[in-house]
A and B are shown apart, each in its own frame.
Chain A
Amino acid sequence: MPDKFKFAFMPSASCGGCEIAIVDIDEVILKVAELADIVYWPTALDFKDHHLEALPDGSITVGFFNGAVRNDHDVHHAKLLRQKSAFVVAFGACAQMGGIPSLGNFWTTEELAHRMYDTVPSVNNPEGTRPQLKYDAPEGELTLPRAMDRAYALDQVIDVDYYLPGCPPQVKWIVAAVEAVASGELPPKGTVIAGTKAVCDECPRERSEEKQVTEFKRIHLVENDPEKCLLEQGIMCCGPATRDGCEAACVTAGQACRGCFGPTDNVNDMGAKLASAIASITVADAQEEADRILGHLDDPAGYFYRFGLAKSMLGVQRGEFKPEAE
């Protein structure tokens, strides 16, 4: 074991919330500083790629990667972090399963760009200027990374050792991960460092043995009973298919779960699992009745795949630029 561990924190198509979560561990950060040197963390300190490139391969104890993989620069960073790290942790929902940015996978990158640069009301771009991979400015050349066909989860690009789920991950699980490294008692490769059951198992709301739903309603249109299961009140909740470990944070705060901890063990496709969970609790005698009830579930794609479309079996391949094409 080295005298001191080395940690690296790599951002990609992220929001920074994951890195704020690291700072949120408060005084535990002092313990981390005692335990490990931070050798790369550009969001917090002045690090550039060359600092990472100069390190010997495998010399970083744990490389934490946050954000989805969205362009060739992210792919390069993912591969570089893998090369330099003994263990790589997919940190947060975006790295674990694409996260919110992978909601964009319902469109092609060109469709996203068209909206962003041509038609969004706050943009005035009559010449249709678009970002160029290379631009010859009068003073010299400028370059930009190339966007891929869609957002990818980290393990679709490199080998990943562990997952810290959540949007963002919660302090207690970050601390658990750091303690596991410190003690040398590492869980089996592939472990998702969180609970092993479903959010429903941690949820304080009362629920009956047999959930039955005869109507779906939007949360602001009902006065929901704070003691009772939201799903049983007809409010879409992803608790049944979502891994526990957050102490049902949203549900306790009066909001339904949206699945940021990802699926429970042995679930291949979270959306499919949720669709089947919803189907099994919907009570209808006839097809028309079922259609009517489910018709009120106004955005199933956005509920079932809120944080994980990149990992869905639906995984639409658009035939544009993919990570292996780098």
Chain B
Amino acid sequence: MQKIEIDPISRLEGHGKIAIFLDDAGDVAEAYLQIPELRGFEQFCVGRPVEELPRITPRICGV
């Protein structure tokens, strides 16, 4: 099966890649979106003073 990979997806913040598989007729058989990033906000915000979070969570996405 032919595979078209778009990596990285450009013109956006954040990380993503797309894999598109084509069947023998050249039609799309399946497409996958993958997010290849790990930073850990879900964990490292825990236990921080709540008034500090407006200064931490904006760094999830600064666009």
Q: Which residues of A contact B (CB under 8 A)?
A: 11, 13-20, 42-49, 68, 70-71, 73, 99-101, 103-104, 106-107, 109, 111-113, 115-116, 120, 131, 137-140, 142, 144-145, 147, 151, 167-168, 218-220, 255, 258, 298-299, 302, 306
Contacts and interface: CB of A to CB of B under 8 A. Distances in A.
Contact of B10 (A43, A99, A219): A43
B35 to A, nearest CB: 8
Interface in B10-49: 10-15, 19, 21, 29-30, 32, 34, 36-40, 42-44, 46-49
A142 B3 CA distance: 10
Given A43-B10, A103-B44, A139-B21, A299 B52 contact: yes
A298 B52 CA distance: 11
B63 to A, nearest CB: 4
Given A17-B59, A137-B30, A299 B49 contact: yes
The 9 closest A-B CB pairs, nearest first, are: A17-B62, A16-B13, A104-B40, A112-B40, A139-B21, A15-B62, A115-B43, A103-B44, A100-B59
A42 B10 contact: yes
A88 B37 CA distance: 23
A16 B14 contact: yes
Contacts of A16: 13-14, 61-63
B26 to A, nearest CB: 14
Contacts of B48: 299, 302
A140 B1 contact: yes
Interface of B: 1, 3, 7-8, 10-15, 19, 21, 29-30, 32, 34, 36-40, 42-44, 46-49, 51-52, 55-56, 58-63
A237 B30 CA distance: 53
Contacts of B42: 112, 115-116, 120
A103 to B, nearest CB: 4
B10 A47 contact: yes
Contacts of A115: 40, 42-43, 46
A100 B49 contact: no
B37 A13 contact: yes
A94 to B, nearest CB: 8
B4 to A, nearest CB: 11
Contacts of A145: 36
Contacts of A18: 62
A20 B14 CA distance: 13
A16 B62 CA distance: 5
A181 to B, nearest CB: 24
A307 to B, nearest CB: 9
B30 A111 contact: no
A165 to B, nearest CB: 15
Q: Which of B37, B38, B52 has the most CB of A within 10 A?
A: B38
Given A258-B55, A299-B47, A101 B11 contact: no
A131 B58 CA distance: 25
Contacts of B10: 42-43, 45-48
Contacts of A151: 39
A147 B34 CA distance: 14
A101 B51 contact: no
14 contacts: A13-B37, A16-B13, A19-B63, A43-B11, A46-B10, A100-B56, A112-B40, A112-B44, A113-B38, A115-B46, A151-B39, A167-B59, A168-B62, A298-B49
Contacts of A19: 13, 63
A44 B7 contact: no
A80 to B, nearest CB: 13
A106 B44 contact: yes
